[in-house]
Amino acid sequence: MNETKSYKWFHDYLAPHEAHTHGIKAIVFSKQSPFQQIEILETHSYGQCLVLDGKMQSSEADEFIYHEALVHPALLTHPDPRHVLIVGGGEGATLREILRHRSVEKVLMVDIDQEVVEACRAHLPKWHRGAFDDPRTELRFCDARKYLEETDTIYDVIIIDISEPVEEGPAYLLYTREFYQMVTQRLGPSGIISLQAGTTSVIHLLNFSAVCQTLRTSFPTVSPYQAIIPSFGLPWGFALASKNFDPQALTPQEVDRRIAERITGDLHYYDGLLHQGQFILPKHVRVQMEKEERIIEDNQPLFTYN
């Protein structure tokens, strides 16, 4: 008997004709919020997983890869990060990694969907590990773009940890030229942002290349990089954008020195050698980025497959 036939399956659709399929042990949580469908699934291969609008966001087995890749290159490139803003970040794992930096004095996490945060706080303690209760943490549940329009607070680092720009989803206006220009105004002179920028898969490069091209309209230094996150089923792209500092100027030895001096506890994915290698993108990705002309704008958003 084929044991797999008895499984329930979650199909994480990557495109109309492509999916990464996960065997499910149990549905831990499921609810439609005012903004998106929230699911926490117990899978056979990757443990518990957060799924929003039918798309995998992170898994128990490999969330450390995603969150270390998103957070530490930016905070270690900055000379002295003290005040940090998270846009999104519902699981609390991005917050967890930021709070490991000894220099950080205050982290504001702005997420539009309080129900995602509450579900993750209750069901995914391995992700946040108490970060929501850290005295340096402040939570606000509102539209991050509206917050940035109205605040006069200046940040050292802004980490943008949001879902992909799905049509009718809550995030698509946080990938535009107008939004990135707003972000630059809320950053100090040494300011840096980091964000996930979509897959670097050979047949799905438009989002990654267009996001990086759009960032270049607002930042003098844009450093795209990638990580392999097995639960996503595809290689995944990130981008670091800075007003002054180039992360690729840091040697592996300097990165390891900063990790030892600045970060509490051990990292499991990121170190100096990885830092150096992650910015070396495959030739076909670099070629696509060099010829990309698309600029994402408020009146011309880019949508990924839903």
Q: What is the pLDDT along the chain (306 residues), one digit of tens a residue?
A: 345 566 799 999 888 888 999 999 999 999 999 999 999 999 999 999 999 999 999 999 999 999 999 999 999 999 999 999 999 999 999 999 999 999 999 999 999 999 999 999 999 999 999 999 999 999 999 999 999 999 999 999 999 999 877 666 667 889 999 999 999 999 999 999 999 999 999 988 989 999 999 999 999 999 999 999 999 999 999 999 999 999 999 999 999 999 999 999 999 999 999 999 999 999 999 999 999 999 999 998 887 765
Q: Domain 3-57 is of which CATH architecture?
A: Roll (2.30)
Active-site residue set: 161
Tell me the angle at which helices 177-185 and 206-215 cross, rounded to the nearest 10 degrees.
Answer: 40
- What pLDDT, on a 0 to 100 scale, did the predictor assign at position 169? 63
* Statement: the pTM of the whole predicted model exceeds 0.85: yes
Q: How far apart are CA 50 and CA 197, in angstroms?
A: 18
- What pLDDT, on a 0 to 100 scale, did the predictor assign at position 137? 98
CATH 3.20.20.70 fits 63-291, yes or no: no
Q: Parse the chain into domains and list their residue ranges.
A: 3-57, 63-291
- What pLDDT, on a 0 to 100 scale, did the predictor assign at position 1? 36
- What pLDDT, on a 0 to 100 scale, did the predictor assign at position 153? 98
* Fold: same for 3-57 and 63-291: no
